[in-house]
Amino acid sequence: MEIFLIRLLQFMLAIGLLVLLHEGGHFFFAKLFGVRVDKFYLFFDPSIWKWDGSLFKWKPKGSDTQYGVGWLPLGGYCKIAGMVDESFDTEQMKQPEQPWEFRAKPAWQRLLIMIGGVLVNFLLALFIYSMILFHWGDTYIPVKDMTLGMKFNTEAKALGFQDGDILLGTDQGAFKDFSADLYRDLSEAKRVDLIRDGKQMSLTLPGDLNLLGMLKAEPSFVRPIIPAEIDSVMADSPAQKVGLQKGDKIVAFNGKPIDSYNEFTDQIGILEDMMTAAKTQADSLKLRTTTMVVSRSDESGVQSEDTLSVVLSPELKVGFFVKTIAGIYEPYTREYGFFESIPAGIKYGWNVLAGYVNDMKYVFTADGAKSLGGFGAIGSLFPPMWDWYMFWKMTAFLSIILAFMNILPIPALDGGHVLFLIYEMITRRKPSETFMIRAEYVGFGILILLMVVANLNDILRWLGYM
């Protein structure tokens, strides 16, 4: 429960900040061009019976704008006078046009008002990334330094990869760290450079591997090799009960040879699949009772192997930990001065945006639709403990996503309004208000459908159906 609340708080703080600044972008340009803003709200405020839906509201003396907080935490809005928006205020649009209304302003001013939110979100992301680099620097483990090499699945091995290969880069450039960017580079590469058995060599790749399939594959397409050496043992765990201790190396599990911790987790995954067919507690206990062969050395350094009978927990946990990648390799940190951090942050943010845009093509596939996530998926991206570095990094990433999603040419989004304004600027003809209202309804329906699908996916994943 504590982890859930910490993630929820980080999510709400990040979304609240991003929504306020996004709507603030619209507000700034509206006020700059003399357009009246009727309401500026964090969260939505649909009325319920005789309640207007506001948790808080305030209207400064002499101001046309009411500021407030609504009860429905799905975003926020800036209600601009004389504009067809999500408020569907058709009565206002039936009145004679006023000079302080959005519709009375030149197209270029209306265009700036509409892109104001996206502009603020994008610039905010670049600023946050720059300040992250300035304050924390860029810490990572270079892929070329992962001298134990990588573990590959059968699909990767069919392309010529072998367990233990040390990856260097592709025809698109050297690998930096082990992240989604490495997968993306491999999916688009025609050539990959690596070290095998101490010799540098290259493999030919097709250049059009399915990135989503690579990321979702079980076992993973590629992952750093982690030795199957026990680093610590949990108290009162199956591992402690059978005498496992720090330094023990697992060499076999459930009758299968183990060459790494990666292979151990693969075997646990096979057991998980088998557990779905267990109909009784006896069936479950039989599957959970297995053998483990460990290699250990005594005080004089003599190696020996012991075969242990282990009863795994109902969650198929043994109860030990191995070293993480950061515990195996020395991380590298590049520090940035203030003026160095700005172009570096801009480049970093631009690469994040480019990668996100490139991956959007997978949304229109069956697997892509299943991978959509709602509020639960987004919230789970935040760390289970409060970490300002990860909080700001996730906030910047969400700001990039918010900017890109809002500029999509879908009615009811900023991008839909921008599309119609560009049409007007080219043709010198305004779309009719009837058309704009209908388009807003269609766009709003599309957004509701996407939201339902994304959050339904979250529920199905939580129930174990996806």
Residue range 441-454: mean pLDDT, rounded: 76
pLDDT given at position 137: 94
Query: At 90, is the pLDDT very low, low, confident or very high (cuts 50, 70, 90)?
Result: low
Highest mean pLDDT among 86-100, 221-235, 269-283, 409-423: 221-235
For the stretch 411-426, pLDDT in tens is 878 888 899 899 888 9
**Ramachandran assignment for 54, one of left (phi > 0), alpha (psi -120 to 50 degrees), beta (any other):** beta
For the stretch 39-75, pLDDT in tens is 999 888 888 888 888 888 899 988 889 999 988 887 7
Q: What share of the chain is helix, strand, coil (3-state, %, to 5)?
A: 50, 20, 30
Residue range 421-450: mean pLDDT, rounded: 82
Residue range 171-176: mean pLDDT, rounded: 93
Q: Does residue 141 carry a pLDDT above 90?
A: yes
What's the mean per-residue pLDDT of the chain? 87
In angstroms, the first-to-last Cα distance of the chain is 23
Q: Does residue 386 carry a pLDDT above 90?
A: no
Q: Could you give the percent of the chain with pLDDT greater than 90?
A: 43
Query: At 466, is the pLDDT very low, low, confident or very high (cuts 50, 70, 90)?
Result: low
Cβ 318 vs Cβ 227: under 8 Å: no
Judged by DSSP in three states, 264 sits in helix
Q: What are phi and psi of 221, to 5 degrees?
A: -55, -45
pLDDT given at position 111: 94
- Of 219 and 445, the one with more pLDDT: 219
For the stretch 253-296, pLDDT in tens is 988 999 999 999 999 988 888 888 888 888 888 888 999 999 98
pLDDT given at position 53: 84
DSSP 153-210: -HHHHHTT--TT-EEEEETTEE--SSSHHHHHHHHH-SEEEEEETTEEEEEE--S---
Residue range 203-212: mean pLDDT, rounded: 92
**Which sign, positive or negative, has the C-alpha torsion 318, 323, 325, 326?**
positive
Residue range 96-108: mean pLDDT, rounded: 88
Give the residue among 402, 437, 405, 404 at the shortest CA–CA distance from 420: 437
Q: Does residue 22 carry a pLDDT above 90?
A: yes
- Output the CA angle 44-48-50, nearest 5 degrees: 125
Highest mean pLDDT among 81-95, 221-235, 371-385: 221-235
Q: Does residue 430 carry a pLDDT above 90?
A: no
Highest mean pLDDT among 67-71, 146-150, 446-450: 146-150
Could you give the CA distance from residue 389 to residue 391 in angstroms, rounded to a whole number? 5
pLDDT given at position 275: 86
pLDDT given at position 91: 67
Close Cβ partners of 50 (under 8 Å, ≥ 6 residues apart): none
Among the listed ranges 15-19, 24-28, 447-451, which one has the minimum average pLDDT value?
447-451
Q: Does residue 313 carry a pLDDT above 80?
A: yes
pLDDT given at position 195: 96
- Of 56 and 194, the one with more pLDDT: 194
CA distances 252 to 228, 259, 290, 313, 317, Å, are 10, 8, 11, 19, 16
Among the listed ranges 55-64, 92-101, 389-398, which one has the minimum average pLDDT value?
92-101
Query: At 177, is the pLDDT very low, low, confident or very high (cuts 50, 70, 90)?
Result: very high
Q: Does residue 464 carry a pLDDT above 70?
A: no
Q: Does residue 89 carry a pLDDT above 70?
A: no
